[in-house]
Amino acid sequence: MTQHEQLYQEAAQFIVTCYEELGKSADQAAQRLAQIKENIHETGTYSHTSEELEHGAKMAWRNSNRCIGRLFWNSLHVFDARALTQEAEMAQAIIDHIQYATNNGKIRPSITIFRPAEQGQEVRIWNNQLVRFAGYRTEHGVVGDPISLEFTSVCENLGWKGAGTDYDVLPLVISMGQESPKWFSIPENVVLRVPIEHPEYEWFEDLNLQWYAVPFVSDMCMEIGGIRYTAAPFNGWYMETEIGARNFADEQRYNMLPKVAERMNLNMSTNTSLWKDKALVELNIAVLHSYKKAGVSIVDHHTAADQFQRFEQAEEAKGRELTGDWTWLIPPVSPATTHIFHSHYNNALVKPNYLKQDVPYEAIGLEKVDEKSGDGGLIPMKCPVHH
């Protein structure tokens, strides 16, 4: 099968399903496929209509095996930014996306889609997430988020300089084709931060914890009908365990469990005291309490699992086979209390979907970011929003 034939086959699979779901006739689908075949023959590719792009992005979320938040797939807001050709224009579109999605805390699931990859010319966002805290190596240990150490070095090599705090927001880094990457600061007033406190422990505020309101996944490739969109940042909202059980709790991240346990006067000399478990629960209680107090959308892992069960039922009613990655769907806190733990899922890849792609700065000898490190994307998902 030639490359053109393969592209047409993938386009046909997408168009038939997409048009059926949009209530279009078989004749309309056939006419569109004839047009696509002609476009591929003449140019080697084809372009999605705005309607196809929007529904394809929603289908990609619905097919995301690692996402526990897929019940809301049809609410995704799509920004079509394919016409933009300059890095500065892309940066502004991303900032507009951040502001729209944040919505003063009433988070709106959104995606901004930039032009697709063609003839090796890829548009890339180098950030793992649009908003993420920097990490610095110092003589006293790591300051900030350890997961960001390598990318922070990339940004510094490009000319960016942070303040050196635990919560410096990294800049956007964007590249087009073979051009050198360019960086753009994210205005502080567009990043909503949530200070973390506890409903019972007043001392919790002394830990000076904070996190950003919205997870924006920006390093995945969205593929629709054989067309690859290598820059398509998206967001949902957080599931509390992503922050409380991973970003704050993991030893290789902010590693807050010992500090919380110490302030709780727990017995840390033996594992049998379950001090880690006790501290972990209180850390997650603090995250939920703080986000709700700040008016920022968030979901607990029990509610998220209930929502996923409703998604399973809805897909069954539509006659669609459910796919899922059990290892990512189970929450990192008390997984056996959810139905997901006791279920089995087919982890087959169904397209459209969001796919992993190479880390752009690997070419300069830096390590990959660990994908299972906390934040996800179309949250609560462990993908577009756990880990």
Active site residues: 67, 70, 237, 242
DSSP state of 168: P
| Amino acid (1-letter code) at residue 50 | S
Say if strands 298-299 and 238-239 run parallel, antiparallel, or are unpaired: parallel
CA nearest 194: which of 282, 296, 284? 296
CA nearest 374: which of 106, 143, 128? 128
- For residues 14 and 20, give the distance between their C-alpha atoms in angstroms, rounded to a whole number: 10
- For residues 329 and 310, give the distance between their C-alpha atoms in angstroms, rounded to a whole number: 14
**Which sign, positive or negative, has the C-alpha torsion 132, 205, 101, 335?**
positive
DSSP track, 262-331 = HHTT---S-GGG-HHHHHHHHHHHHHHHHHHHTT--EE-HHHHHHHHHHHHHHHHHTTPPPB--HHHHS-
Phi, psi angle pair for 182, to nearest 5°: -125, 145
The token pair at 73 is: 């797939």
CA–CA–CA angle 120, 121, 124 (5° rounding): 115
Cβ–Cβ under 8 Å, residues 216 and 131: yes
Phi, psi angle pair for 57, to nearest 5°: -65, -40
- For residues 370 and 362, give the distance between their C-alpha atoms in angstroms, rounded to a whole number: 13
Torsion from C-alpha of 73, 186, 297, 69, nearest 10 degrees: 30
